[in-house]
Each structure stands twice: as C-alpha cells, then as structure tokens.
C-alpha cells in the first residue's frame, strides 16, 4: 500500500472530535517537534503533516492515514 503524500497548499479533510473538518496542508513534518504543548513524533520514515483548519484557523499535526484530499 502506497503511503498518502500531500504537499503545502493541498486542501484536505479529516474526522475530528467535533465531527468533520476541512483545512489546508501547511507543511510536511519530518522531525520531532512541539505544537501547542503537544509532542509530535514525526520523522523522515514516519512523517506527519501540519494542517490549518479552515473553520478555526488552528494548526495541528496529522498522520497521513488520517487525511483525505478534499
């Protein structure tokens, strides 16, 4: 199974605690970092994507399997 890949500017959607969300990929994360006090365990072998919500404007990291192109 090929891993999903996205690039900055891609519109994506995902399921969240509040239901269904839509936003835009800001960048691909390939190293560990902190976002709003949460540890993101991203790496080159296990990347995550920084996504900005269209509704709230907040940023969060998501694993590729959680995202779908909108």
| Cα distance between residue 70 and residue 52, in whole Å | 14
Using the 8-state DSSP alphabet, how is residue 46 labeled? S
Residue 36, Ramachandran bin (φ over 0: left; ψ between -120 and 50: alpha; else beta): left
What band does 2 get if pLDDT is binned at 50, 70 and 90? low
Coil vs helix vs strand at 24: strand
Tens digits of per-residue pLDDT, 18-62?
789 999 999 999 999 998 898 999 999 999 999 999 999 999 999
Q: The dihedral of CA 63, 64, 68, 70: what is its sign?
A: positive
Is residue 64 classed exposed, middle or buried when 0-12, 13-18 and 19+ CB atoms within 10 A define those classes?
A: middle
Q: What is the pLDDT of residue 36?
A: 85
């Amino acid at each position: 199974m090929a891993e999903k890949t996205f690039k900055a500017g891609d519109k994506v959607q995902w399921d969240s605690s509040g239901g269904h969300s839509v936003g835009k990929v800001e960048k691909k994360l390939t190293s560990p970092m902190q976002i709003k006090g949460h540890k993101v365990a991203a790496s080159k072998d296990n990347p995550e994507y920084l996504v900005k919500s269209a509704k709230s404007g907040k940023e969060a990291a998501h694993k590729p399997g959680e995202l779908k192109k909108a």
